Amino acid sequence: MSVVALPARIAAPWRLRRRRALLVLWPAFAGSLVLALVLGSVELQAQAMLSSFGRALAGLHDDTLAGIVLGLRLPRALVAAAVGGMLALSGALLQSLLRNPLADPYVLGVSGGASCAATAAIALGLGATAIALSSATGALLALGESEQD
């Protein structure tokens, strides 16, 4: 199967839409990270958060605010952003791999296979690593079964 290039009159609007989307989504992403750092059980002002970053960069780690922001909130916010990006990427890969824009882990049974294998590992009393590995194995087996159909 060969890839057909789109004519320039059709491809140009898609590029413009992609640029517009990125111009909107990057500031929204940055704003959500700032909100994740400011909001929490301890109330922080944005100015206090920025000054704690400055003190942490200067080597003054004994500040409680810097400990809250750098030790708790920043890692959680970055992990949440990474997990969201990986979920979006996995969904896009699944849809492009199967050439079906409606492909979904729930429809294909991938999530069911993963949860069944994880439940079996929990019932056997295995550790967290074994539960994660068995869940991934169950998902792959379920995906392999759906590919054969």
Per-residue pLDDT tens for 3-59? Answer: 556 566 665 676 778 888 889 999 999 999 888 888 888 777 878 777 777 777 777
**What pLDDT is stored for residue 44 in this prediction?**
79
Residue bearing tokens 């896009």? 92
DSSP state for residue 4 in the 8-state scheme: P
- The token pair that represents 37 in the structure block: 């750092």
Task: Report the distance separating Cα 123 and Cα 130, nearest Å.
Answer: 12
Mean pLDDT along residues 74-93: 92
**What pLDDT is stored for residue 1 in this prediction?**
46
Residues in the chain, overall count? 149
User: For residue 74, how many other CB atoms are within 10 A of its CB?
Assistant: 17
Answering whether pTM is above 0.75, one says no
Task: Report the distance separating Cα 103 and Cα 111, nearest Å.
Answer: 12
> If 0-12 CB within 10 Å is exposed, 13-18 middle and 19+ buried, where does residue 118 land?
buried
CA proximity to 72, closest of 97, 93, 52? 52
- The token pair that represents 45 in the structure block: 């002002």
- The token pair that represents 133 in the structure block: 């590995």
